[in-house]
Amino acid sequence: EITRRLDTAIIPSLPDGVELVVATDEAGIISRTANALSTHIVEGTLLAAFVVWLFLLNLRATVIITTAIPVSLAGAVVVMYFGGYTFNIMTLSGLLLLIGVVVDDAIVVLENIHRHVEAGETDLNVAATKGTGEVVFAVLAATLTLVCIFATVIFMDGMIGVFMRSFAVVVTVGVLASLFVSLSLTPALCARFLKQESAPRG
């Protein structure tokens, strides 16, 4: 992008006799790193889904929990778009970190809903409501603690603050999105798709 602007806008507008030379150009390295991180995000999502299935041994529950990943990442990307942030090493690293974080709340909520199903609750809507209500404050406390850690980076001064701000924004928004997903979408999906005979092991 910078090279294009140099060629099309800046260099043609320079006065006669003035020459602009690019001393170093690391755009290729950054571009390759960004592409690699994009690939790792896809791989990480698939690996996270496999690990969740490995422990739950239930495809329905795995799909419900894994849904938190793209929805939370989408929330972070939307904020990136309106906040003027681009896909770069820092923002992609934040998205990559989110993959392993955003499923935590969903797992806690789903497991507690499943506990009610195992206890004999046949109405999945009731199980979802009770199960979510019992862990809502624990999920809130854990998530907001994590948010406080990363949100402080947003307000850091100096070059470190400028360098890390986009990373902190992506992670903070993604974690908040995962909280919303775990308390709304996850219970709704459990009430619709989680069956007693195919629920994960407690």
Pick from 13-27, 29-43, 84-98, 111-125: least confident: 13-27
Whether the per-residue pLDDT at 174 is higher than 50: the answer is: yes
Residue type at 47? L
* pLDDT score of 194 more than 50: yes
* CA atoms of 168 and 163, how far apart (whole Å): 10
Sequential DSSP letters for 60-102: HHHHHHHTHHHHHHHHHHHHHHHHT--S-HHHHHHHHHHHHHT
For residue 195, the model assigns a pLDDT of: 72
pLDDT digits (tens, 9 = 90+) for 20-67: 666 666 667 767 777 777 788 788 888 888 888 888 788 888 888 888
Q: Which two tokens stand for residue 45?
A: 């999502």
Backbone φ and ψ for 22, nearest 5 degrees, come out as: -80, 115
Domains along the chain?
A: 37-198 (1.20.1640.10)
The backbone torsions φ and ψ at residue 97, rounded to the nearest 5 degrees and listed phi first, read: -65, -35
